[in-house]
Structures are given as structure tokens and as C-alpha cells.
A and B are shown apart, each in its own frame.
Chain A
Amino acid sequence: MIQVFREHRSLRIAGLMGPGAFWLVVFFLIPLLIMAVISFMSRDQFGFPAPPFTLGNYWDVVKDIRFNPSISFVGGLNIRLFDGLYLELFWRSIWLSLVSTIITLLIAFPVALFMSRLPRGYRSLTLFLVMIPFWTNFLVRTYALQFMLRGNGPINTLLRALGLEPIDLLFTPAAVMIGLVYGNLPFMILPLYTSLEKFDWTMIEAANDLGANTLQAFRRVMLPLVSPGLVAGSILTFVPAVGSYITVELMGGGRTNMIGYTIAQQFSASVNWPFGSALSLLMMIIVTIAAVLYFRSGRGEQRTVL
């Protein structure tokens, strides 16, 4: 058997790729296609997909989009060119996810850097510590986070003990942001750590010898070399953030809505699978475009270095 694999390259590839490909096709690609088909269907009297085929679900997403430029200062500078219920929802989801990705990155980078500089034994220990939260279900961890932010939770108890005013944290956009950063932190740390661990620090010395200051060495030597980890971490953080559901529900308290939550509702409470499928597909397309643009800009960065 093994001999056969050794001799036939194509069989070998099939043997290695087969299980993964099978899994992806059966459990990802086919459901995705089914979802795409459903997004063009109507609802039967119970809200489930039924013929005839229609573009109505997509029309429902875009029909209220109007050109209506506006500037406001509600919650920071708000510049709007268009109005539209779902457009706004997509935009807010992407914006919040982008901000959460940047915050996650700013927190994760020093941690990953620190971990990669530790002696070997300590590195495994810190890696282990980063992964410990995965042992607990995410829903339960989110409830724990809710408890932390409550009016009578530890944070506000501490504030009171210090003689400070307690602050309303839970059910604010800040709470959603804290939840997103908390949940995605390990996904940023791990790829960054992998890149940084391989980083050859003598390159920094070389850069310094050639006249670069620390900032220049960081920007023009280190950053490009760890950019695979940076890109992977950012995508692993941004994409799930856009579609996040539990965090939005439990930390936002219904005051901060994101597209993932609205989509989930179409499949549960409001039983409108076709509309939910259309929203999901649009979200996938938007996120894919954002990710591709990001990859492109990452490559551009490398090119300027070389």
C-alpha cells in the first residue's frame, strides 16, 4: 500500500489532500452553494425557502439606499454619503471589526514579541497560557465577561473602593469592543508569535550598523518580515469579528447591532431563510473584498522594501 503511494504522485496527492478536500466540499462548499440558491428563493407560508426564484431578497437589502451626504458628531466624526438600513448595518459591522482588529493588534504585538524572546521552556509555558481560555466554552466566557463589566461587578467595585464613580460599561459599544478584542486576542497572538519566533534578530543589528534607528529598523526590516503573521492574525481577527453573534448579543444588550446578529435572527426568531442567506452572501462578498484588498496592500508593503 505504502509502496503504491510512493510510486504514484497523483495517488499521493489524493491521499494527502483527499480527507481535507472531502471535508471542505461536503461541509463547506455544498452548503455554501445551497445557501446561494436559497438566497434567490421566496418564502413559503412558514418562512422556509420555496420557489419561485427571485431577486427580491437582494432588493430588500438595497431598496432603501439613498444618496444623502451628511456629517454629524454623534459618537465621533460621522461622515455619511448614503442612507440605508442594511447598508448602515454592514458599514457599522465593518467599522467596529476594523477598530477591534487594530486594538487587538496593538495588544497582541508586544505580547507575541515578549513571548518570542523568552527562553525556550518559558515559550511553551506562555503559549499554553494563551490557549487556556479555549478550554472553556466561549458562551460561558462571555457570561463571565458580562459579570466583570456589570454595575456591581469587580471593575466597578474596585472603582468604588478607590472612591471613584462607577461607570456604565455593560451594554455599551465599548463592551462589545472589549468582548471582540478579548475573544480574538489569541488568534492574533499565535500567528504573530510564529512569525516573530522565526525572526532573526541579527537583522536588526545589521540595520542599526547600516545607520537605521530603532524605529526605521522596526518599520523597514522587522515589520515586512513578520507581515505573514500580521496578515494572518488580522484576517483571523477581522473576519470572525464582522460576523460575531454571541458577543453582540450578550455584551451589546441590543443597543449595538451588528450584521451577524441580524443574520442569526433571520434563521431563528423571524424565520426568513432566503433573506438571511442573501445577507450572509453579501457579507461574505464584502469581507472577501476587504481581505483581498488587505492582502494586496500587504504585498505592496513588501515590494517597497525590496
Chain B
Amino acid sequence: MNRRAFLRLGLGLSGATALMAACGGTTAPAPTTAPAADGPAPQPGRVDAGTLAREMSWYNWGGYVADSVIDKFKQEFGVTVKIDTYSSNEEMEAKFKAGGNPGYDLITPSDYMVSKLIAAGLLEKLNFANIPNFQYIDAGHKNLYFDPTNEYSVAYNWGCTGFAYNKTKVAEPITNWKQVMNWPDGLRGKLGMIDDVRELLAVGLRVLGYSGNASDPKEINAARDALIELKRRANYTLTDSPNAATNLVAGDIFATQIYTNDAVTARSENPDLVYVIPGDVSTVWQDNLCVPKGAPSQYTAEVFINFLCRTDIAAENANAIGLATPSAEALRQGLIAKELVEDKAVYPDIAAMGDALEFLRKGDPEVDELYQRAFDEIKAA
């Protein structure tokens, strides 16, 4: 549903303590080091205050920015950032397709959605002269397939679609998707998968040795059959990732496919949960800051993007929302909480994993239809 806050609602209902913990907002670990003094100082002198709008609006995933970051931007630049939230890329896309830009200066689409929005002519090219802090973004998060010459987007956060399980209930440590597909009969009904057509089918495809982006109907149908067989045997639930986290914490399921951010939240509620990126190819995704066509003030949005890329702010934000930051500088200066940095599931070694991490590329309607049909058949089985 959304990137973070939604789980809180579900957990809140499962007990007053969980609710209080959620309200306290203490789940994100504090940085282990104080912000380094040699971090780049704010450079308000370079910002043309006259061109800055008084307020800007950001259409963002729910709970996907630290409140303190928004407050600091207001203090330093006098700009109020208003936030509307969405719970899926498609929901955001539909708003723009239905009636043009309803007045947003900034959006946060994921990888494949950036390429769809570029193709539809819905994004402005960014003026990187206003975003000097882009230099602190890791090269591995620039010039990716969805924006090959990096003209439209700035990496904001990234993560994976991995697997979380309760180590007190699942005897054998899980390290790959093959184990998931061979789910033990004794744990029937205790497995969860993500209710997303591509994420679900990608697991079937990859275990069979195909790409998660397969477009051959034979491969897609083979994955479908494997997942139907698994459904008959394991009777897995299909929920969205935040709900899967809630179900995992509540103990209704013992293991689930899950996004990194939801796994981190779930784990902070129950230390028995283990989160892994299965080694036999998992999905990697990246959310990006983009300015939609028709933005009331592109300049203000760019100043804000630059602010978000500033090392101390990037660190503060990443520590608060518990996702991997693309800011190489924040990592180099040791500003990111140890628990996060040292966790190979939150910061997998991209170079070492190589082809074992794969972006899911969506957007070809004919292929999408094949997947959707297979997905509907799995659900009906």
C-alpha cells in the first residue's frame, strides 16, 4: 500500500504496545556517528531566493521521507513542502494520464515507471546545474536502463524484493528461491507471496532458470504452472508487501516474499525475523526523484532535490526511513546507521551479486497481458 506507514496501521491494531512503538517513531536506528563536520555546508548563497516558490508539492510514496528533513528545508529555504501520497506507481501514473499534472512539482517513480513516464513525455529534463550534490550519488545508481543518459531522474532510495522468515518457525535457513518453491509440507498455509503479477511470476521464472523479464509465453506459462503447483501444496497467501509484513509479525504466516523496507520495519517489531536476498536472482528496484511536466516551479523542485542529495540530509533521511541510500558520500562518511549498512540484505553488494540482482522491466502491453493472464490463472487455481 505505501512504503512504510501502512504496516504501522496493521500492527497498531495488534496491540497497544506496537501502536505506541509505531507512534514513537523510534524504529529507525540512530546514526552511529554524529554528522561529520567536513560534510558539504549548505550553500544558500547559490540559491536564487527570488525564483524559489513559497511552497512546492511532492507526490510521494506514503511515509517515504523524514519529517525532520521537510522541517529543515523550511527552516533553511523558507519553502513549505506539501506531500500527497500514493501507494503504487500505477496510481500515480493514472493521475497524470487522466488529466495532466494536477500541480505537483516532484514525484518519486520507481525504475520502470521512469521509462514509461519519459516515453509518455510526462517528465521534464532536469537542470543539473541546480543539483550540484548529484555528484555524491554513487555511479552505480546513475545512467541506469530507464534513464540511460540520466537526464530526467535522480536516485532517491533503492532496495530489493527479498524473503523474510521467522527463524524460530522455519528450521532451515533460507538462502535461495528454490527452497521457497520446495516449501515443506509441514508449513502449509504459512507462506506468503507478494500480490504483484511480476514479482510473483519472477520467482517462478527465475527458479526455472529464466529471466524475470521473460516475454516467451512458454516460459511464462511454465512459471505459472510451477506457482500453481506451489499454491496447491503450500497454499500461500497473496497480499501486498506491507500487509505481508503485518501478517508475518502477527504470526499468521512464518515466511514471506517482501520488499526491503517492509522487512526492516517487520524486523524491528520482531527480532526473530530474518531478511535475506535469495542468491538465485532477486528483484532490485530504485525510486527516483523526477519533475513532472507542468510543474509549477521546477526550480524549487531542483533546489529541493539538491537538498535531499546533500550528504547530511541524505543520511538523516535514509536512517529514518530504513532504506538503502544511493549517496556514496553519506556511506563513505559513515553517517548511515551501522545496523543498516552492515546488513547485506539492506545494502547488498551490487558488484558481487552481479546478475543475481535484476530490475523488473514493465511496460510492453502485449507482454503485460501474458503475465496478467497467467497471474489470474494462479489466483483462480
Residues of chain A having any CB pair with chain B under 8 Å: 43-48, 85-86, 88-89, 140, 143-144, 146-147, 150-152, 168, 170-171, 249-250, 253-255, 257, 262, 265, 267-272
Residue B368 CB within 8 A of the other chain: yes
Enumerate chain B residues within 8 angstroms of A265, measured Cβ to Cβ.
372
Are B237 and A171 closer than 8 Å at their CB atoms?
yes
Are B237 and A254 closer than 8 Å at their CB atoms?
yes
Could you tell me the distance between the alpha carbons of A254 and B236 in the complex, rounded to whole angstroms?
8
Question: Which of B86-94, B157-165, B291-299 lies at the interface?
Answer: B86-94
10 contacts between A and B (CB under 8 A): A45-B364, A46-B120, A46-B363, A85-B380, A143-B9, A254-B239, A257-B379, A257-B380, A268-B94, A269-B196
Contact with A269, one of B197, B247, B364, B373 (Cβ below 8 angstroms):
B197
Are B250 and A270 closer than 8 Å at their CB atoms?
no
Enumerate chain A residues within 8 angstroms of B235, measured Cβ to Cβ.
255
Could you tell me the distance between the alpha carbons of A267 and B372 in the complex, rounded to whole angstroms?
12
Could you tell me the distance between the alpha carbons of A48 and B317 in the complex, rounded to whole angstroms?
35
Secondary structure class of chain A's binding surface, majority of residues: loop
Could you tell me the distance between the alpha carbons of A86 and B116 in the complex, rounded to whole angstroms?
29
Are B119 and A255 closer than 8 Å at their CB atoms?
no
Contact with B369, one of A86, A170, A272 (Cβ below 8 angstroms):
A272
Residue of B nearest to A49 (CB): B97
Enumerate chain A residues within 8 angstroms of B189, measured Cβ to Cβ.
168
Could you tell me the distance between the alpha carbons of A270 and B198 in the complex, rounded to whole angstroms?
10
Enumerate chain A residues within 8 angstroms of B371, measured Cβ to Cβ.
270
Known: A43-B365, A272-B372. 19 other contacts (CB 8 A): A45-B119, A46-B365, A146-B13, A150-B14, A151-B251, A170-B252, A171-B252, A253-B247, A254-B237, A255-B237, A257-B380, A262-B376, A267-B94, A268-B90, A268-B94, A269-B196, A269-B197, A271-B90, A271-B93
Could you tell me the distance between the alpha carbons of A47 and B368 in the complex, rounded to whole angstroms?
9
Are A152 and B250 closer than 8 Å at their CB atoms?
yes
Enumerate chain A residues within 8 angstroms of B239, measured Cβ to Cβ.
249, 253-254
Enumerate chain A residues within 8 angstroms of B238, measured Cβ to Cβ.
253-255
Contact with A270, one of B243, B247, B372 (Cβ below 8 angstroms):
B372
Are B97 and A48 closer than 8 Å at their CB atoms?
yes
Enumerate chain A residues within 8 angstroms of B9, measured Cβ to Cβ.
140, 143
Residue of B nearest to A84 (CB): B380
Contact with A89, one of B193, B197, B237, B380 (Cβ below 8 angstroms):
B380
Could you tell me the distance between the alpha carbons of A48 and B90 in the complex, rounded to whole angstroms?
11
Residue B343 CB within 8 A of the other chain: no
